[in-house]
């Protein structure tokens, strides 16, 4: 019996279960995607490098849809925590390359690997306020990564007409079954390398304000 349990705990069975559950659950969403062609054109026709950015609260609803980008071999930084291990397994099965690290643990090494992967494959995603918040606070990693790889930042946002919000630091959003869900990509944003800490901070604040404004507009469209 113990041998059977150990076998079930292998990567091929237990670790694949969350991936299949997420995909099955997400199939119930009435998903609408907006403003995708703009950054795809930049990526495919202009050989641009793109960093997709979102809040920790909202990444769940994009998992199933983002599998369509797997041919780009995109990368994503995921924390080294136990929860990060689960998310990493889901990312791999979705066709994304997980780079383990964060701003609080192994972040410097992870950032270097992310830069290398982004330059090589030209597409990656980043959680701007992860792994532990504060919610909505854009940390420095997104801009440092984009500048080092000469990448354009493209924020994306998710909102649903019916959803549960967890009692977590990010108020994690889980759309209810058959909810109308909108996945909206924002405008392309580029930043030149800052010449000072003050200039870099202004860039960080600019991205934070732009994301807050665009997300508020998406939520307002549901009223």
- For residues 56 and 132, what is the distance between their CA atoms, to the nearest angstrom? 9
In this predicted structure, what is the pLDDT of residue 144? 93
Distance between CA atoms of 7 and 11, rounded to whole angstroms? 9
Question: What's the chain's Rg over C-alpha atoms?
Answer: 18
CB 122 within 8 Å of CB 50 = yes
The reported pTM is: 0.90
In the chain, where the domains are located: 2-220
Report the pLDDT value the prediction gives residue 68, as an integer from 0 to 100: 96
Q: What confidence tens digit (pLDDT) does each residue in 73-101 have?
A: 999 988 777 667 788 889 999 999 999 87
* 150 conformational bin, left if phi > 0, alpha if psi -120 to 50, beta if neither: left
**pLDDT number for residue 57:** 96
Options 3.40.50, 2.60.40, 3.40.1130, 1.10.20; CATH of 2-220: 3.40.1130
pLDDT digits (tens, 9 = 90+) for 92-126: 999 999 998 765 444 578 888 999 999 999 999 99
pLDDT tens-digit map of 1-35: 334 434 544 556 666 888 999 999 999 999 999 99
195: number of Cβ within 10 Å: 8
Please tell me whether residue 222 adopts helix, strand or coil conformation: coil
Q: Do 148 and 108 form a contact (C-beta atoms < 8 A)?
A: no
Residue 65 has pLDDT above 90, yes or no: yes
Query: In whole numbers, what is the pLDDT of the chain averaged over residues?
Result: 90
Judged by average pLDDT, the poorest of 109-118, 154-163, 175-184, 185-194 is 109-118
In the chain, beta strands by DSSP E: 30-34, 50-54, 75-78, 97-100, 123-127, 152-160, 163-165, 173-175, 180-185
180 SS3 class:
strand
Using CA atoms, how far apart are residues 20 and 89, in angstroms rounded to an integer?
11
Helix axis angle, 17-26 to 82-93, nearest 10°: 70
Residue 39: band (very low, low, confident or very high) from pLDDT cuts 50, 70, 90 = very high
User: Residue range 128-139: average pLDDT?
Assistant: 92
């Amino acid at each position: 019996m113990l041998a059977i349990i150990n076998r079930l705990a292998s990567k091929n069975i237990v670790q694949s279960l969350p991936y299949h559950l997420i995909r099955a659950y997400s199939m119930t969403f009435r998903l609408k995607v907006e403003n995708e062609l703009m950054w795809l054109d930049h990526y495919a026709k202009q050989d641009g490098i793109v960093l997709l950015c979102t809040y920790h609260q909202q990444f769940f609803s994009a998992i199933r849809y983002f599998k369509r980008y797997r041919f780009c071999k995109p990368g994503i930084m995921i924390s080294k925590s136990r929860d990060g291990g689960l998310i990493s397994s889901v990312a791999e099965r979705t066709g994304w390359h997980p780079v383990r690290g964060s701003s609080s643990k192994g972040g410097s090494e992870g950032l270097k690997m992310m830069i290398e992967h982004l330059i090589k494959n030209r597409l990656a995603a980043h959680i701007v306020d992860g792994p532990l918040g504060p919610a909505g606070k854009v940390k420095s990693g997104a801009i440092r990564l984009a500048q080092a790889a000469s990448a354009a930042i493209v924020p994306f946002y998710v909102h649903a007409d019916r959803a549960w919000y967890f009692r977590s630091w990010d108020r994690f959003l889980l759309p209810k079954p058959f909810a109308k869900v909108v996945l909206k990509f924002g405008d392309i944003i580029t930043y030149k390398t800052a010449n000072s800490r003050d200039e870099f901070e202004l860039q960080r604040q600019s991205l934070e304000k732009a994301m807050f404004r665009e997300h508020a507009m998406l939520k307002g469209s549901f009223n």
